[in-house]
Chains A and B, each alone.
Chain A
Amino acid sequence: MQGWAQIVFYAVVLVVLSYPLGIWMAHVYTRERSDPVERGFLRLLGKDALVDQDWKAYAKSVLMLTVGFTAFLYALLRLQGHLFLNPDHLPAVSWDVALNTVASFVTNTNWQYYGGEYTMSYLSQMAGLAVQQFVSAGVGLAVAAAVIRGIARRGGGTGLGNFWRDLYRSIVYILLPLSLVLAVILLAQGIPQTFHGHATATTLQGAHQSIARGPVASMIAIKQLGTNGGGYYNSNSAVPFENPTPTSNFFEMLAILVIPFGVLVMFGRMVAARRDAWVLYAAVFAIFAIGVAIAYPAEQHASAVLRNSGVNITAGHGQSGGNMTDKEVRFGIANTSLWATATTDVSNGSVNGGHDAFTPFGGSVPLVNMFLGEVEPGGVGSGLYGLIFYVLIAVFVAGLMVGRTPEWLGKKIEAREMKYAAFGALFVPTMVLAMAAAAIVTKSGLASIFNPGAHGFSETLYAYTSQANNNGSAFAGYGATPFSTTLGTVALYFGRFVPLLAGLAIGGSLAAKKTVPASAGTFRTDGPTFGVLVFGVIALTAGLMILPALTLGPIVEGLMN
């Protein structure tokens, strides 16, 4: 009961906060006037920042920024040994891990084939990785705003806004202010923020203990808010220095979902279809709730190994019991299960306990969440255009059922949009299955597996699902080899940019269309029927695609359990 009460309280606070935030974000992206700093910034950037862009120009600016940051970040990681703010004298990051890490951070994934506190210098953490945590999240929000403008546009035209202006506003009006507030909260809870190197302690028994610290709080704030997830420490938010108390845990969990749910509210405002937005809000909220309802009891029930070991796994009498493997005492089972579900409903991927050690069914929740494309409600911005793919498919299916041309929010949905939507929705899951297959039939792929049996397959499937969907959480036993880092790098870039481009293309295509008034034959998309339909489409497209793979991993293991 204690656990469920915490979960329900969390959900209520989340919904309540996402509402005003969404209204604010809609205001940020629709305001005509620029502030003086924004004007100066855009002038400094030059002509590209001063024009209204169609979807292709918008996409080109996104890609150019990504290419530039990829080169810059790779150089920084390779040269960190010669640069400043490296008090513990860490050497260069190896080339394959650096390549994967760069791809991972510019794509808002934050998959980590390295341990932060013993691989990255302070400079790399703050001026390299944490900058991407702002910028990649800002890119996601900017693209979402552009796609929404395309849908909302009345009377034709091709302009979706300006990428640089949207990026500036995402960072300056949304991500940075929230990060400042969250960082102060986290500092008050005890997260370090210092430029001093490792501390050395002499323990009570006389041993030496080296304690890693650094500019942690500033990074953890944006790591949580920007659906990034890349931790300062190897064990991420399980580490007390990254998540010291139940209070810090609550705010970090809130930060995972508040902007993504806010984006749905923002969508409703910007397209002037608030009821439609709430229907989508409810549909994806249901997926979140179902996930928690599976994961928490599964983890509390624990694995056969623990049940048969004879130790006490019953909650109560001074412990939370359950599957405490790779979990922390101060969070217990409820808060770790809730976090695992939330972090994979969006593209966050931070963890406060080890997912590899989750029970078979508990661990299948994050896996399925990610495979659905992280649209529940998905990464900051990227979740929205991911969800739009499913919505268009649902609209199309509904159109077939009632025998009319499908329409959505006053726009006719035709072959072109459907091609983009189907491609956007199916490309990533198809790539994941192909990559997992490649990694499971090759010797170099098998070398990454840590746990024996069906669980080893789950590790592999999880790795490519996570990277291709830009999540970043891991069944962390899965190891870095040149094969796995390279395949992962491909998954990261394609998983980010194929859906992003498909989303922008839909925005561009819809922008040019004239609005058609709703008629008696229009299928209503603002009621519960459509919510159920969207839910069903998500479950039937991606859900069915992963089912055969699930039977080879978590389901087999669950039957053994």
Chain B
Amino acid sequence: MRALAASLVAIVVFTVVLGLGYPALMTGFAAVAFPGKSTGSLIHRNGTVVGSELAAQSFTSPRYFHERPSATSPAYNAAGTTFSNLGPTNPALAKLVAQNAQAILKLERPYNRGLTISQIPVDAVVPSGSGIDPDITPAYAQLQARRIAAVRHVPLATVQSLIKQNTDERVLGFFGEPGVNVLKLNLALDEGGE
């Protein structure tokens, strides 16, 4: 009975202090110190929210850089993240990879005649972990650059310099892998790339 009584008091104390006090404290601190980041790193354009720096969104138009494949339902669902969970020997994975590769060839070849499947980087054809990976590899961005330049009638060099500006390099030149933030890159294109 003594142990039970102690447990009940402990449950109340821990729930109030750790469950309400601690997150409330952090939320208050975050609102003051990191107002933009703490509310989801949202990106505004002309007064409306167009997305988050940390979430991929659907791009299907040839005018835009495209994201990596997503396994969420619908694709790029930032309120329902998921892995694809496709095992390494699953025939469905082979099928998906082949389909995605063919779709990329079909989309890019009109602007890039010599393009072969061996030039497609792997991140372009397999689903990301979150389903909302905001980045593509620099290799996949380069692959799409000619199409963007042609459709938008801008010099390839302009597109390539925008890719460079929107690439997050390795942290301190060391940690992680370089990634190109697709939403930020497309916003930059819309702003100055016409």
- Is the beta-carbon distance between A240 and B132 smaller than 8 angstroms? yes
Interface string of B1-34 (1 = CB under 8 A from A): 0111111111101110011101100110111011
In the complex where A319-B139, A356-B87, A476-B83 touch, is A202 in contact with B48 (Cβ < 8 A)? yes
Within 8 Å by CB of B8, from A68, A303, A475, lies A68
A329 to chain B, nearest CB (A): 4
Report B-chain residues with C-beta under 8 Å of the C-beta of A2. 170
Q: How long is the Cα–Cα vector from A448 to B138 in the complex, in angstroms?
A: 38
- Is the beta-carbon distance between A319 and B39 smaller than 8 angstroms? no
A173 within 8 A of B: no
A438-491 residues at the B interface, CB under 8 angstroms: 450-455, 458-459, 475-477
B158 within 8 A of A: no
- Is the beta-carbon distance between A60 and B3 smaller than 8 angstroms? yes
In the complex where A312-B119, A312-B121 touch, is A211 in contact with B52 (Cβ < 8 A)? yes
B183 to chain A, nearest CB (A): 7
Q: How long is the Cα–Cα vector from A152 to B69 in the complex, in angstroms?
A: 56
Interface string of A205-229 (1 = CB under 8 A from B): 1010111110101110000000000
Interface string of B146-181 (1 = CB under 8 A from A): 000000000000000000000010110011111100
- Is the beta-carbon distance between A235 and B81 smaller than 8 angstroms? yes
In the complex where A246-B171, A306-B97 touch, is A476 in contact with B38 (Cβ < 8 A)? no
- Is the beta-carbon distance between A164 and B6 smaller than 8 angstroms? yes
Report B-chain residues with C-beta under 8 Å of the C-beta of A244. 41, 54
For B123, the closest partner residue in chain A by CB is A324
Give chain B's interface residue range (CB within 8 Å of chain A). 35 or more
In the complex where A217-B26, A306-B126 touch, is A68 in contact with B90 (Cβ < 8 A)? no
Report A-chain residues with C-beta under 8 Å of the C-beta of B37. 187-192
A314-362 residues at the B interface, CB under 8 angstroms: 317-332, 335-336, 351-354, 356-360
A135 to chain B, nearest CB (A): 6
A40 to chain B, nearest CB (A): 10
A49 within 8 A of B: yes
A541 within 8 A of B: no
Q: How long is the Cα–Cα vector from A477 to B29 in the complex, in angstroms?
A: 38
Report B-chain residues with C-beta under 8 Å of the C-beta of A184. 29
- Is the beta-carbon distance between B130 and A309 smaller than 8 angstroms? no
Interface pick from A123-131, A255-263, A278-286, A422-430: A123-131
Within 8 Å by CB of A325, from B10, B42, B61, B93, lies B93
In the complex where A64-B4, A240-B55, A455-B87 touch, is A118 in contact with B80 (Cβ < 8 A)? yes
A14 to chain B, nearest CB (A): 15
Interface pick from A193-201, A496-504, A529-537: A193-201
A421 within 8 A of B: no
Within 8 Å by CB of A239, from B81, B90, B91, lies B81
| Residue in A176, A193, A198, A308 whose Cβ sees the most chain B Cβ within 10 Å | A193
B187 within 8 A of A: yes
- Is the beta-carbon distance between B88 and A455 smaller than 8 angstroms? yes
- Is the beta-carbon distance between A322 and B80 smaller than 8 angstroms? no
Within 8 Å by CB of A328, from B61, B125, B133, lies B133
A170 to chain B, nearest CB (A): 12
B71-89 residues at the A interface, CB under 8 angstroms: 71, 76-89
7 additional contacts (CB under 8 A) given A64-B3, A202-B49, A309-B94 = A64-B4, A65-B11, A190-B41, A235-B82, A311-B118, A311-B122, A328-B135
> Which residues of B approach A to under 8 Å, CB–CB?
2-11, 13-15, 18-20, 22-23, 26-27, 29-31, 33-34, 37-42, 48-55, 57-61, 64, 68, 71, 76-91, 93-94, 97-98, 101, 117-142, 168, 170-171, 174-179, 183, 186-187, 190
Nearest 6 Cβ contacts at the A-B interface: A246-B176, A238-B129, A354-B83, A127-B19, A477-B85, A318-B138
> Which residues of A approach B to under 8 Å, CB–CB?
2, 5-6, 9, 41, 44-49, 57, 60-61, 64-65, 67-69, 72, 115, 117-118, 126-128, 130-131, 134-135, 164, 167, 171, 176, 179-180, 183-184, 187-196, 198-205, 207, 209-213, 215, 217-219, 233-235, 238-241, 244-247, 249-250, 302-306, 308-313, 317-332, 335-336, 351-354, 356-360, 363, 450-455, 458-459, 475-477, 557, 560-561
28 A-B contacts (beta carbon < 8 Å) = A2-B170, A45-B9, A48-B2, A69-B7, A126-B23, A176-B22, A187-B26, A192-B39, A193-B30, A195-B27, A204-B183, A205-B64, A210-B77, A238-B83, A303-B88, A304-B88, A309-B125, A310-B117, A324-B122, A326-B129, A330-B135, A331-B176, A357-B83, A358-B88, A451-B90, A452-B90, A475-B87, A477-B86
